[in-house]
Chains A and B, each alone.
Chain A
Amino acid sequence: MSDEKEKPPILKSWRNVYLLVIGALLAQIVLYYLFTRFFE
């Protein structure tokens, strides 16, 4: 359904861009968890 003809200006494919978004989220959850535990 997605229009893959239009390439993103970075990371070569939209799939890689989406992986970056999800990866950033997972990294933040881990960081916030460690942040919570460290200052608890």
Chain B
Amino acid sequence: MSAIDWLVLGLTLLAIVAYGIWKSRGTKNIEGYLLADKQLPWYHVGLSVMATQASAITFLSAPGQAYSDGLRFVQFYFGLPFAMVLLCVTFIPIFKKLNVYTAYEYLEKRFDLKTRTLTAFLFLLQRGLSTGITIYAPSIVLSTILRIDILYTTLFMGGIVILYTVYGGTKAVSYTQLLQMLIIFSGLICAAVVVVHLLPSNVGFTDALHIAGKMGKLNAIDTEFDLDNRYNLWSGLIGGFFLQLSYFGTDQSQVGRYLTGSSVTQSRLGLVMNGLVKIPMQFFILLIGTLVFSFYQFHEPPLFFNEVEVRKIESSAYKAKYDSLEIAYAQVHAQKQPHVNALVGAVRQENEAAIDAEREALRGLEKRSAAIRTEATGLMKKNNAKADTNDTNYIFLRFVTEYLPVGLVGLLIAIIFLASMGSTASGLNSLASTTVVDVYKRLVKKDASEGNYLSASRWTTVAWGLFCVIVALYAGRLGNLIEAVNILGSLFYGTILGIFIVAFFLKRVGGTAVFYAALLAEVFVVIAWLTELTAFLWLNVIGCLLVMGFALVFEMFKSKKESPL
């Protein structure tokens, strides 16, 4: 990176953190620290909700995922608008009416203490691990750019977020997220314009789309129903609905965002905004990834995008073999050139026969490229069994640092940091809220002063921050990070959602029945995941339905036992 890029990066980060700390000064009680005094307008709520979900992983992994797998990941979000509507109709009015700090407080009012504690525990486990991953993602960026050990970059990233989250609580989180989202939107638009501008002068935006489309990368919609297919229309609508409902309805990192709304209307409008904007935003980010794919049809891509792993193999006994693979990869790329240009010409002339011929030729060459890459990653594994052979997270990053103009590189890197800071801060804040409100205030010190709870909130934020940093240090073994987070969520969200659905809609089921139903359902979900019974999105559906089913059966059994003969 150039000096100007470093300046842009440094000033952006400094300005955002300073703004958040300044806006959150004077927080004196737990309501101000955990819920920003419930005074935020709808656009604040909406942007904060979006910033919490859009972590650095979104901007690192999603374009890389589109580069390798196309647009089909967008279907993952199709259940989100339905979830937003259901939350607006049911969850928000209830949470607001009961004036709760956390979603789990409601469960004690509806069921009992053990169900509240179990759900809070499942949340803490899942969110603690996920937040660790969101710290790890931008640490890769610094590690790659500075070429220093990821240990130090993880400590640096975690340290910044802990600093302003501990100081300013929810207010600092929300105010920084507002600016973060504005910078993120601007930066992404700039990146898309530059990618198109970097294409050869005779290749335009629609030509780039045709190239990506003919190579199978614009596969936004897959209507075939297949339980083993991770992303299709049905898994997105049904599985995605359950996952998003669970995430937004029962995950304190999100519930804490919309509880900051100044009224039911402001909180609802914030979620409506998310329901309208999230999918187009995600589509746009993925589209940038497919444009990067088209760009690399004209510019030679590296055989492997993770430079750290490349350096390792090049200093090993396998160097000669790896070098020969690089040469073979470059030759295949060169062979593609006439076909890519012919494809663009055929599309312009609307010559269907020629389009088919060039498409087949290109797909054949793409298969050869993929085979060479597989051979290369095989070498890496042979050299080091612990090698990270998934370079999806590095594709966009490598493109940004190698091809984007001075200044914009710094801004794009800043965006990755800001996104991570936003979601990490929400995660830490929600972990602290749940620990203090559902554990400390409820089980340890019931009648302490506001000052005591405020102090406890700050110390638990520090403790969770340290825990997440430790998790981040081990996150590198999880492959594609965005999928790792979603798989982790799917392991717990279905069960948690099931508990809330029973609470809202199955009025005759009591606390004991739902408690044991949740325990049993969680065991089933983990077994289903370990045995690879189905694609992970369906685990949300399975977990939720199992809790509902078991709870009904247990309640029926209990009623029969208690009824006089």
A residues in contact (CB < 8 Å) with B: 1-3, 6-9, 14, 17-18, 20-22, 24-25, 28-29, 32-33, 35-36, 38-40
B265 interfacial by beta-carbon distance below 8 Å: yes
**In the complex, are the beta carbons of B81 and A24 less than 8 A apart?**
yes
How far, in angstroms, from A25 to B85 measured CA to CA in the complex?
A: 12
Q: Would you mind naming 22 contact pairs between A and B with Cβ atoms under 8 Å apart?
A: A2-B93, A3-B93, A3-B96, A6-B263, A6-B264, A8-B268, A14-B89, A20-B276, A21-B275, A22-B85, A25-B275, A28-B279, A28-B280, A29-B78, A36-B71, A36-B221, A38-B213, A39-B209, A39-B210, A39-B214, A40-B213, A40-B219
User: Which chain B residues border A3 with CB–CB below 8 Å?
Assistant: 93, 96-97, 264
Closest 9 CB pairs of A and B: A39-B213, A32-B220, A3-B93, A25-B81, A33-B221, A21-B275, A2-B89, A18-B85, A6-B265
**In the complex, are the beta carbons of B272 and A21 less than 8 A apart?**
yes
Query: Other than the known A22-B81, A33-B223, A36-B220, what 14 A-B pairs have Cβ atoms closer than 8 Å?
Result: A3-B93, A3-B96, A6-B264, A24-B275, A25-B275, A32-B283, A35-B220, A36-B71, A36-B219, A38-B213, A39-B209, A40-B213, A40-B214, A40-B218
Which residues from 198 to 229 on chain B have a C-beta closer than 8 Å to any C-beta of chain A? 209-210, 212-214, 216, 218-221, 223
How far, in angstroms, from A24 to B272 measured CA to CA in the complex?
A: 11
The chain B residue sitting closest to A28, CB to CB, is: B279
B243 interfacial by beta-carbon distance below 8 Å: no
User: Which chain B residues border A14 with CB–CB below 8 Å?
Assistant: 88-89, 268
The chain A residue sitting closest to B82, CB to CB, is: A22
How far, in angstroms, from A4 to B78 measured CA to CA in the complex?
A: 26
User: Which chain B residues border A8 with CB–CB below 8 Å?
Assistant: 265, 268-269
B437 interfacial by beta-carbon distance below 8 Å: no
How far, in angstroms, from A20 to B275 measured CA to CA in the complex?
A: 10
The chain B residue sitting closest to A26, CB to CB, is: B81
User: Which chain B residues border A2 with CB–CB below 8 Å?
Assistant: 88-90, 93
**In the complex, are the beta carbons of B93 and A1 less than 8 A apart?**
yes
B94 interfacial by beta-carbon distance below 8 Å: yes
User: Which chain A residues border B276 with CB–CB below 8 Å?
Assistant: 20-21, 24
How far, in angstroms, from A7 to B504 measured CA to CA in the complex?
A: 23
1/0 contact string of B252-289 vs chain A (CB within 8 Å): 00000000000111001100100110011001000000
B233 interfacial by beta-carbon distance below 8 Å: yes
**In the complex, are the beta carbons of A21 and B268 less than 8 A apart?**
no
Instruction: Give the most central of B81, B90, B264, B504: most A CB within 10 Å.
Output: B81
B84 interfacial by beta-carbon distance below 8 Å: yes
User: Which chain B residues border A6 with CB–CB below 8 Å?
Assistant: 263-265
CB < 8 Å neighbour of A35 from B82, B218, B272: B218
How far, in angstroms, from A35 to B220 measured CA to CA in the complex?
A: 8
B74 interfacial by beta-carbon distance below 8 Å: yes
How far, in angstroms, from A18 to B89 measured CA to CA in the complex?
A: 9
**In the complex, are the beta carbons of A39 and B89 less than 8 A apart?**
no
The chain A residue sitting closest to B216, CB to CB, is: A40
**In the complex, are the beta carbons of B90 and A1 less than 8 A apart?**
yes
The chain B residue sitting closest to A34, CB to CB, is: B221
How far, in angstroms, from A8 to B271 measured CA to CA in the complex?
A: 13
**In the complex, are the beta carbons of B82 and A39 less than 8 A apart?**
no
User: Which chain A residues border B71 with CB–CB below 8 Å?
Assistant: 32, 36
User: Which chain B residues border A38 with CB–CB below 8 Å?
Assistant: 213
**In the complex, are the beta carbons of A17 and B218 less than 8 A apart?**
no
User: Which chain A residues border B220 with CB–CB below 8 Å?
Assistant: 32-33, 35-36
1/0 contact string of B326-362 vs chain A (CB within 8 Å): 0000000000000000000000000000000000000
In the assembled complex, how far is the CB of residue A30 from the closest CB belonging to chain B, in whole angstroms? Answer: 9
User: Which chain B residues border A35 with CB–CB below 8 Å?
Assistant: 218, 220
In the assembled complex, how far is the CB of residue A35 from the closest CB belonging to chain B, in whole angstroms? Answer: 6
**In the complex, are the beta carbons of B264 and A21 less than 8 A apart?**
no
User: Which chain A residues border B263 with CB–CB below 8 Å?
Assistant: 6
User: Which chain B residues border A28 with CB–CB below 8 Å?
Assistant: 279-280, 283
How far, in angstroms, from A33 to B82 measured CA to CA in the complex?
A: 19
In the assembled complex, how far is the CB of residue B258 from the closest CB belonging to chain A, in whole angstroms? Answer: 14
Asked, given contacts A1-B90, A6-B263, A29-B233, whether A39 binds B279 with beta carbons under 8 Å apart, the answer is: no
Asked, given contacts A1-B90, A3-B93, whether A21 binds B214 with beta carbons under 8 Å apart, the answer is: no
In the assembled complex, how far is the CB of residue A2 from the closest CB belonging to chain B, in whole angstroms? Answer: 5
The chain A residue sitting closest to B212, CB to CB, is: A39
How far, in angstroms, from A18 to B268 measured CA to CA in the complex?
A: 10
How far, in angstroms, from A6 to B96 measured CA to CA in the complex?
A: 13
User: Which chain B residues border A22 with CB–CB below 8 Å?
Assistant: 81-82, 85
CB < 8 Å neighbour of B84 from A7, A21, A29, A40: A21
User: Which chain A residues border B81 with CB–CB below 8 Å?
Assistant: 21-22, 24-25
User: Which chain A residues border B219 with CB–CB below 8 Å?
Assistant: 36, 40
**In the complex, are the beta carbons of A29 and B265 less than 8 A apart?**
no
In the assembled complex, how far is the CB of residue B373 from the closest CB belonging to chain A, in whole angstroms? Answer: 24
How far, in angstroms, from A9 to B272 measured CA to CA in the complex?
A: 12
User: Which chain A residues border B216 with CB–CB below 8 Å?
Assistant: 40
User: Which chain A residues border B212 with CB–CB below 8 Å?
Assistant: 39
